[in-house]
Structure 1
Amino acid sequence: MNRNALLAAGVTSLMWGLTGIFVRLLPSLPALTVTAGRLLIALLVVVPVLGLLRSSRRSFRSALRHPAAYVLALLLAGYYLLATAAFQMAPVAEVALLLSTPPLFVPAFRRVRGDIPGRAEIAGAVLAVAGISLVLVPGISFAGAAPLRHLIGNVLALGAAGLTALYAYRYRILAERGCAPDIIGVSLLTFASGSAILVLMVGLAPGPAGLDTLNGTSVLVFLGLGVLSTAIPTIGFAVASKRLPAVVTATISLFIPLFAGIFAFLILGERLSPLFIPGGMLVLGGIAMILRQGRDGANDWSREKR
């Protein structure tokens, strides 16, 4: 097994585990502003680096001519937006766990196409749903703004995971037809089109963008979010997914909630609810069953970029 690719996958999981920390360390900015800045910074970092590679330039030009690539890019941009809002509203560890559930959605999409999931996949889905229920229980309260905000954040995280799963599902269909755009090209298109659209939305939004609240420290945090938790993981995961078996990259990504929980405790002082640990074990165990049952499902999910 390629050790450099394995190291890249590990670093990717570590960097993605920091995403929620960076989001929470920022001042109270709208999720739209944070996401626009994140994608714009990633674009400014990734384009010069990958622009030196002829293959990357070729894949980006190919994506620009591929209509489906724009749909995929919009799905990923939507994921970034929902995930950012979720991190602002709910505990980091919970959001990271729920963002790791795209494999749970893939069997449902396959069922729509008439592809009946296996028993192990169904059992894994049942376990994961039971775990998600345990994780969401503490936030199910409509008495007061804080519990409701907590619950909405978790729901947004599940919505972000659903967009990622839909992206993977659509990419697989295109791959089966032999017309899937290169993953690097789609990532670059996501940064370019996503940042352009979101910056425009920030400019047109009626409320303040909140950029006047940024200081030297928060600018560094913003750079960390765009570089460490977006640009570097995108490159690292692309390297890992091309050189490692899909099941390996997908399984390594399951460590992201663990890293996120540790960082949230050490940096933010967040403590997990009593039900989070058993719920998290059920979720990750169920997802592992789904990934083990079908390597295609692992391949779908491993194309996601947090």
Structure 2
Amino acid sequence: MNRNAILAAGVTSLMWGLTGVLVRLLPSLPALTVTAGRLLIALILVLPALGLLRGSRQRFRSLLGRPMAYVFALLLAGYYLLATAAFQMAPVAEVALLLSTSPLFVLLFRRMRGDIPARAEIIGAGLSVAGIGLLLIPKISFAGEAPMQHLLGSVLAMSAAGLTALYAYLYRILAVRDSAPDTVGVSVLTFAMGSAILLLMVGLMPSPAGLETLTGRSVLLFLGLGTLCTAVPSIGYAFASKRLPAVVTATISLFIPLFAGIFAFVILGERLSPLFFPSGALVLGGIAMILRKCNEVDCTIEL
């Protein structure tokens, strides 16, 4: 098995595990502003590489004439926005755990198209749903703003997982037909479209964008978020996914919640509730069972 690809997948998981911490360390900025800045920085970083690689330039130009490429870019931009907002509202480790449930949604999409899941996949889905319930049900409270914000963050994280699962599922359908667009090109298009649309939305916001609160430290955090947690892992995951079986790449990605929890504890001092550990074991164990049976489905997980 390609060692460089395994290393790229591992580093990608590590960097995505850092995402929530950097989002939380930023000053209180709207999710639109944070996501727009994150994607714009990533775009600025990857454009020179795109210009230097002739093959990448050609693939990107051909991609611009394909409507599905824009659909994929919008799905990923929506994912980035929802995930960023979720990290601002709920504990980092919990959001990372819920974002890792995208294979559960892929299984649902397959079932909707008439693909009957295997028994192991059904059991895995049941375990994951039980774990999600164990994590979320105690937080269903309408007494006070904090519990509602926590619950909303969890819902946004699940919605983000659904978007990336839809991207992965549609992409796999095109890949089977040998008509899937280049993944690196889709990432670049996501950064370009996402930053442009979100910056426009920031400009139209009735409330301040919050940019006046930025300090030198905040700018460094933004650079880290755009570089380490967006540009580098997006390219790294594309590199790994082309050289490793989908199940291997996706399984390595299950380490993201572990990394996120460690980073959040060490850097933010964020402590996990006792229920997080049994619920996390159920969710990740169930997802692992699904992944063992979904070699033919690209169960992509991104942060």
Give the corresponding residue for 1:250: 250
Q: Contact between 2:95 and 2:157, CA under 8 Å: does it hold in 1?
A: yes
Alignment of 1:90-239 (within 5 A): 90-239=90-239
Indicate the residue corresponding to 1:305 in structure 2. Answer: 302
Contact 2:76-2:164 at 8 Å conserved across structures: yes
Provide, for residues 194-223 of structure 1, a one-character-per-residue CA deviation record: whole Å limited to 9, x for no partner: 111111110011111000000000110011
Q: How does 1:25-36 map to 2 (within 5 A)?
A: 25-36=25-36
Deviation of 1:4 (Å): 1.4
CA contact (8 A) 2:245 2:295 kept: no
Matched, 1:37 2:37: yes
Kindly indicate whether the alpha-carbon contact (under 8 Å) linking 2:247 and 2:294 is maintained by their aligned counterparts in 1: no
Structure 2 residue matching 1:130: 3-state secondary structure: helix
Q: Mapping of 1:258-277 within 5 angstroms?
A: 258-277=258-277
In structure 1, C-alpha distance between the alignment counterparts of 2:249 and 2:274, rounded to whole Å: 30
Q: Which runs of 4+ in 1 moved over 4 A?
A: none
TM-score by length of 1: 0.97
SS at structure 1 position matched to 2:296? helix
State the SS of the aligned residue for 1:301: coil
How far apart are 1:51 and its partner, in Å? 2.4
How many angstroms does 1:90 deviate by?
Answer: 0.0
Q: In structure 1, how many angstroms separate the alpha carbons of the residues matched to 2:302 and 2:234?
A: 6
d(CA) in 1 for partners of 2:31, 2:39? 12
Separation (CA, whole Å) in 1 of partners of 2:215 and 2:272:
30
Aligned-CA RMSD value: 1.0
Q: How many correspondences in the alignment?
A: 303
Paired letter, 2:61: R
Residue type of the partner of 1:258?
L
**Which residue identity does 1:305 align to in structure 2?**
E
Letter in 2 for 1:30: P
Match of 1:206, as an amino acid? Answer: P
Alignment match, 1:57:
57
- Counterpart of 1:115, as a letter, is D
CA contact (8 A) 2:22 2:221 kept: yes
TM-score, L = length of structure 2: 0.98
Equivalent residue letter for 1:24: R
User: How big is the shift at 1:97?
Assistant: 0.3
Write the distance in 2 (CA, Å) between the matches of 1:121 and 1:52.
43
CA offset at residue 140 of structure 1? 1.4
Structure 1 residues 57-77: Cα deviation after superposition (integer angstroms, max 9, x where no partner): 122112211100000100000
1:112 positional shift? 1.2
Partners of 1:10 and 1:179 lie apart in 2 by 28
Gaps of 5+ in 1: none
Alignment identity in percent?
77
Output the CA distance in 1 between the equivalents of 2:214 and 2:137.
Answer: 35
